[in-house]
Amino acid sequence: MKMMKKNALINFYEKVQNGIHTLITILLGLMMVVILLQTITRYVFFYSLPWSEELSRYLFVWMIMLGVNLGIRDDMQVRIDIIDRVFTGWGKTVITVFQHLVSLVVSGVFFYSSFNFLSIGARQLSPAMQIPMIYIYICIPVGLGFAMLEIMRKVVFAIKSGPEEM
């Protein structure tokens, strides 16, 4: 029974990750369409869309904040290679767990701090589109929340697998 719950949780988490990947793909496609539309209206019709730059910037920010999670999943964090090469066995496991814990603390600090943006965004409208900025600022805690979940998953995997999987 416990193993079934574990597998169901892992399957659910993987479906969420795939959903995030799909959402990032959709955001990138929308961003490309908006920029293409702006280019066509500017150079063909000699009219500039006042909202296109703002919308493409917001789509880009959402795409980046959701993508942090996938970068962590695929081990694309900045690292010092010489440290990873010097240690082997349990030493490498300890260093890897330490690196992930530092990433978790930094992400946690930013996650906690991002809630100040939400209170500001609730009172502020975007200049061109006149939408509440909370819809833009919410991407920070959402993205960092998923990043923290992925970092915790990596820590658990590193501890459970030990040096043979590293």
> Do 140 and 110 contact (CB within 8 A), yes or no?
yes
The CB density around residue 101, as the number of other CB atoms within 10 Å, is: 13
The count of domains in the chain is 1
For 148-166, the pLDDT digits (tens) are 999 999 999 999 887 765 5
Structural domain span for residue 133: 2-164
Q: What is the pLDDT of residue 64?
A: 96
Q: Residue 102 to residues 7, 155, 166: CA-CA distances in angstroms?
A: 28, 11, 18
* Residue 91 backbone phi and psi in degrees, to 5: -60, -40
Count H helices, E strands: the chain?
A: 6, 0
Q: pLDDT band for position 2 (50/70/90)?
A: low
Running DSSP on this structure, what letter comes out for residue 131?
-
Residue type, position 74, single letter:
D
Running DSSP on this structure, what letter comes out for residue 4?
H
Q: Check whether 35 has a pLDDT greater than 70.
A: yes
Q: What is the pLDDT of residue 14?
A: 92
> Do 48 and 35 contact (CB within 8 A), yes or no?
no
Q: Note the pTM of the prediction, 2 decimals.
A: 0.86
Running DSSP on this structure, what letter comes out for residue 74?
T
For 61-115, the pLDDT digits (tens) are 999 999 999 999 998 887 777 877 888 888 888 998 999 999 999 999 999 999 9
Residues 18 and 48: their CA atoms lie apart, in Å, by 36
Residues 18 and 60: their CA atoms lie apart, in Å, by 19
